[in-house]
Amino acid sequence: MAIFGALVKKEALHILRDTRTMVITIFMPLVLLLLFGFAISTEVNDIRIAAVVEKHTCETRKILERFRVNEYFTFLGLVAPTETERLLRSGRADAVLFLRSDDANLKAQIMVDAANPTIAQTVTAYVGGVINKEEIKSPVLTYTLYNPQMKSSYNFVPGIMGMIFILICAIMTSVSIVREKENGTMNLLLVSPIRPATIILGKLVPYFLLSCVILAIMLFISYTLLGLPLSASIVNVVLLSFLYIILSLSFGLLVSTIADSQLTALIGSAVILMLPVIMLSGMIFPIDNMPVFLQGVSCIIPARWYISAMRKLMIQQLDAAYIFKEVMILTSMTIVLLVLSIRKFYSSSRK
């Protein structure tokens, strides 16, 4: 036990002495969360709209009034038909609304800057919604469950957590183990009477604790600054994250048994883990929209299951029973990775 304590203490010293890495590991999650939470959002706010009205009627006045008071729009005022192109081109307006009355029938046309199709689509839908408010006899009532304001930050929080833990746990553990191989100190650990299992644990425990600190920071920001609804499900969130952290640590261990240099370990874990996590985990791009082949590939990416379960827990506030499938998959992945990496470590410790 004293030996184990010495190993953990030594590893903690490595982590604390390496100030640069320390700062990155603490600040990267912070910056990413705040960036995705506030700066990068798929919502469209503040649409600048101008209008061309051929002849004012009671109806057109009402419609324009609605644009004026709607907080998603900035109404630029009425313009001449010849002005419209210049406005759109110069980027001073996002859309121009044409209103024309033919025999008391109102006809509306929307001209929208579709340089960014995602924004254009949203703008068109918004404008349509504002115009048609009174036209439809039986309006469709929409309830947006779980995320009533459709805040994209809600969606990003689980994704970012899925990415950060893979990054920190896998890369940091693998690099720290491979560094000992490079320096030759691993040989000294191996020729000492301590068992390889103790060496592995002595490596994993400090990084597990570091990950817990990061988890605490990220949860704190999510529930305060980003305003995720706080409920009892936070207990399950923490437990699920523990499982995912252990999985990421095992991944790092596996990489370290294969890689010979710190650089290989770094590139290995970054390329094998980072890109698939960002592209295929459903963090940014919905899995259902992917080709079937890539959907299949995404099944073996742990982050996919973690993110999906985290959405259920954090956003939908469902209880643990609903994430049974994800937990089972993540648990089996963890066991497979741990067994593989420990066996590999043992076999490489005595050739």
Partner 1 sequence: MTTVVKVSDISKRYGKNTALDNISFSVGRGELFGIIGPDGAGKSSLYRILATLLLPEEGKVEIAGLDVVKDFRKLRPKIGYMPERFSLYQDLTVRENLNFFASLFDVSVKKNYDLIAPIFGQLEHFPDRKAGALSGGMKQKLALSCALIHRPEILLLDEPTTGVDAVSRNEFWNMLAGLKEHGITILVSTSYMDEATKCDQIAMMNEGQILDIDTPANLVSHIEENLFNASAHNMFKLLSELREMPQVEDCYTFGSTLHIVARSDFNPEEIGNSLKNIGMQNVRIYPAKGDIEDLFIKLTRNER
Binding site for partner 1 (CB under 8 A): 2-3, 5-6, 10, 13-14, 17-18, 183-185, 187-194, 349-351
Query: Quick check: helix, strand or coil at residue 279?
Result: helix
Q: Whose Cβ is closer to partner 1: residue 39's or residue 191's?
A: 191
Q: Whose Cβ is closer to partner 1: residue 194's or residue 318's?
A: 194
Kindly state the smallest distance separating residue 322's Cβ from partner 1, in Å. 46
Q: Whose Cβ is closer to partner 1: residue 55's or residue 350's?
A: 350
Tokens representing residue 59 in the block:
């109806």
d(CA 249, CA 242): 10
Q: Whose Cβ is closer to partner 1: residue 6's or residue 335's?
A: 6
Residue type at position 284: I
Kindly state the smallest distance separating residue 18's Cβ from partner 1, in Å. 7
Listed in sequence order, the residues at least 6 apart from 238 whose beta carbon sits closer than 8 Å to its beta carbon are 215, 219
d(CA 282, CA 288): 9
CB 298 within 8 A of CB 288: no
d(CA 126, CA 335): 49
Burial profile 238-261: b = 16 or more Cβ within 10 angstroms, e = fewer: eebbebbbbbbbbbbbbbbbebee
Q: Give 286: exposed, middle or buried? Use CB within 10 Å, 0-12, 13-18, 19+.
A: exposed
Kindly state the smallest distance separating residue 269's Cβ from partner 1, in Å. 21
Q: Whose Cβ is closer to partner 1: residue 132's or residue 192's?
A: 192
d(CA 106, CA 99): 7
Kindly state the smallest distance separating residue 9's Cβ from partner 1, in Å. 8
Kindly state the smallest distance separating residue 210's Cβ from partner 1, in Å. 16
Q: Whose Cβ is closer to partner 1: residue 80's or residue 191's?
A: 191
Kindly state the smallest distance separating residue 338's Cβ from partner 1, in Å. 23
DSSP summary character for residue 56:
-
Q: Whose Cβ is closer to partner 1: residue 17's or residue 55's?
A: 17
Kindly state the smallest distance separating residue 25's Cβ from partner 1, in Å. 16
d(CA 253, CA 109): 60
